[in-house]
Structure 1
Amino acid sequence: MADLDKARHAKLRLRSELADRDGIRGVGISRGDDGYRVQVNVLSASDNRDLPATVEGVPVLVRVCGRIHAGG
């Protein structure tokens, strides 16, 4: 896995690439057992299509989270 700085850079790049794509709910960083990875939250499993497995050598984890609602 990657260190935090490398993961931050990869996250910014991927977020930019996915900016206009429907079904993407968020792009962030998560920590695994041996480093950091970029996490992409998607609305449904079908929104997982064509997402890269890595960005600049940083692993990409896709998580289906469904609709996100404001708390209240």
Structure 2
Amino acid sequence: MAEPHSHTLDQARAAKPRAQEVFGALAEVVGIGITRVADGYGLKVNLRTPLPTDTVTPTEVDGVPVRLEVVGQPRAQ
């Protein structure tokens, strides 16, 4: 049985569109993926540039934990 604070893969998938809305309003989102967080899953939001320092950053979306990473401009390999 899952821990009360762990989130399933389906919960993380369901939170992705809302995370795009939330973080897309704050910065340019390059992509959103799913990552392991403790015993469950969370979202990894990749940003092109850092958020302004005075930005209040949500730590979760729809109860799913969020990790931010500034990855810059994606490039084809």
TM-score range, shorter chain: 0.7 to 0.9
AA at the equivalent of 1:32: V
The offset of 1:15, in angstroms, is 2.2
For 1:35 and 1:45, locate their aligned partners in 2 and report how far apart those are by CA, in whole Å.
Answer: 26
For 2:25 and 2:50, locate their aligned partners in 1 and report how far apart those are by CA, in whole Å.
Answer: 18
* TM-score, with structure 1 as normaliser: 0.75
Q: For each residue in 1:34-61, what CA deviation from the matched residue of structure 2 results, as whole angstroms up to 9, or x when unmatched?
A: 1100110011222683442111110011
Matched, 1:38 2:36: no
After superposing on structure 2, the runs of 4+ consecutive aligned residues of structure 1 that deviate more than 3 Å are 16-22, 47-51
* TM-score, with structure 2 as normaliser: 0.72
**Matched pairs, number:** 71
Gaps of 5+ in 2: 1-5
User: Is the deviation greater in 18-27 or in 4-13?
Assistant: 18-27
Q: Could you say what the CA RMSD is over the residues aligned between the two structures, in angstroms? A: 2.2
Greater fraction helix: 1
| Bigger Rg, structure 1 or 2 | 2
For 1:54 and 1:20, locate their aligned partners in 2 and report how far apart those are by CA, in whole Å.
Answer: 15
- The 5 A counterparts of 1:1-72 are 1-18=6-23, 22-46=27-51, 49-71=55-77
Q: What is the identity percentage for the equivalent residue pairs of Structure 1 and Structure 2?
A: 35
